[in-house]
Homo-oligomer: A and B are copies of this chain.
Amino acid sequence: MSNSSTMGKIHNFSAGPSILAPETIDNCVKGLQNFANTGLSVLEVSHRSKEFVAVVDETRGLIKDLLNIPDNYDIIFLGGGASMQFCMVAYNLLKEKAAYINTGTWSKKAIKEAKLFGQVDVIASSEEDNFNNIPKSYTIPGDADYFHITSNNTIFGTQFQEFPNSPVPMICDMSSDILSRPIEVSNFDMIYAGAQKNMGPAGVTVVIIKKSLLENPKNGIPTMLNYQTHIDKESMFNTPPVFPIYAMYQNLKWVKASGGVAEMERRAQNKAALLYNEIDSNPKFEGTAKKEDRSHMNACFKLVDETKNEAFMEAATQAGCSGIKGHRSVGGFRASMYNALPLESVQVLVDVMKKF
């Protein structure tokens, strides 16, 4: 059965784990069948084999290349998801006080974990507006150990369109918009991202960390939770999530071959423009996020007449649109438009909206 042909029928707007390019999946199939001409499946080779070490090295190189990461940063691959980073960030870096902006569910979870390790100043929050915007006016305390933000909020459909200037190390959870636009990495001391949106499949988390951030480490950090452990062993302290890394490698090759992050941004802008134009011009629909803070990855919208929700869902499903139910904390609909989603899929959804 050809992967490409089965994919064509479904328009996958899943919020994550999310759509991957057919080429990525085809190459994963090849790796399952015969990895790097070893005659073995990538599922059953030693993580210390020269062939898999090469995959890890090349994956690191692709991320460095695609995001234009300076040499004074390390790149590591961990298990546990971004949720584990909420704890690890604070375990490693919170000595006295940290500053957080609360822009939604993921920020709140990060704040909750940090509070176990020290004082947490939530210097801005859009919670009173059900997180429909990105706060703009706040002061980052100059004596904080670090300042933490979530770049894109999958559930509420908001996104930092410009990043703040921080007087202290800035740490960003970029799980849901990394690789969708060029970023100036040197403005951040740490970026982390669960892979399962634009990076690859679920099961691996990428951490990009400025070497100077770990110069004065805290004591007593458990070995597996200590960033330095994984930096020193180049993500091979213990058995890493081999297949998720391999699939990420295949996906990063696809991003590069497709034109890199600048091209991903161009595509994201086109897809977002197409969908938000329909939301704004069609009197049956309304967007839920403030226009200036709208996410290019996750568009949240509602029917003005919410009694028609089920009928719209039915029409969209009939047209092959999958994964557009809104999160329960917002309601309505959410269309996630990650890198691998073609413009054609957005057009199909827009056509359903027009006809409805």
Binding site for B on A (CB under 8 A): 1-3, 6-7, 9-10, 12, 14-20, 24-25, 28-29, 32-34, 38-41, 43-47, 78-84, 86-87, 91, 109, 112-113, 116, 194, 196, 200-204, 220, 222-225, 237-244, 247, 322-323, 340
Contact = CB atoms under 8 A, between A and B. Distances in A.
Contacts of A201: 43-44, 242-243
Given A32-B29, A201-B242, A44 B12 contact: yes
Contacts of A24: 43
Contact of A203 (B82, B225, B242): B242
Contact of A32 (B28, B79, B244): B28
Contact of A223 (B25, B34, B113): B113
Contacts of A86: 223-224
Tell me which of A10, A14, A24, A79 has the highest count of chain B C-beta atoms within 10 A of its own C-beta.
A79
Given A113-B223, A242-B202, A33 B81 contact: no
A203 B195 CA distance: 13
A254 to B, nearest CB: 13
Contact of A83 (B14, B17, B20, B238): B238
Contact of A3 (B19, B20, B32, B247): B32
